[in-house]
């Protein structure tokens, strides 16, 4: 496969953007992909059923369906640079709020809703 000089120059000029996007995209999915390891500890700690623990994943999926198109339109209108770093910082903060979880399933749902809404920011 042959690459033109223009493609090589573009890659040299913008490889940092590709690296940052890859890292950011990977980190956003980390909480969801590692969630299975926390089922048993959460059940034991709070006395919940598996369905109560899994409520978070349901909320995350529904929030993705609702918020992705809305936030995508906002990003298209105002540009991704305004949302990148603040989105990552907010998502990290929202994820850290899981440390404040109590035995209340309602609080668990609120924490997941907050994280899910913020995690849709690209």
Residue 116 burial (CB count, 10 A): 23
User: In the predicted model, is pLDDT for residue 2 greater than 80?
Assistant: no
Give the whole-number percent of the chain exceeding pLDDT 70. 95
Residue 28 has a pLDDT of 67
Range of 2-6, 30-34, 74-78, 110-114 with top mean pLDDT: 110-114
pLDDT category of residue 3 using cuts at 50, 70 and 90: low
Query: Which pTM was predicted?
Result: 0.75
Under 8 Å CB-to-CB from 52, ≥6 apart: which residues?
46, 105, 108
Q: What is the mean pLDDT of residues 42-62?
A: 93
How far is the CA of 118 from the CAs of 8, 44, 94, in angstroms? 35, 28, 8
């Amino acid at each position: 496969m042959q690459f033109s000089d223009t493609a090589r120059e573009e890659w040299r000029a913008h490889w940092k953007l590709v690296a940052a996007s890859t890292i950011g995209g990977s980190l956003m999915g980390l909480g969801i992909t590692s969630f299975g390891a926390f089922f048993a500890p959460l059940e034991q700690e709070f006395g919940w059923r598996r369905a109560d623990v899994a409520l978070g994943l349901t909320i995350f999926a529904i929030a993705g369906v609702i918020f992705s198109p809305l936030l995508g339109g906002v990003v298209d209108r105002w540009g991704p640079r305004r949302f990148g770093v603040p989105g990552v910082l907010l998502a990290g903060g929202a994820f850290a709020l899981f440390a404040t979880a109590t035995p209340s399933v309602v609080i668990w749902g609120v924490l997941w809703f907050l994280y899910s809404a913020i995690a849709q920011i690209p």
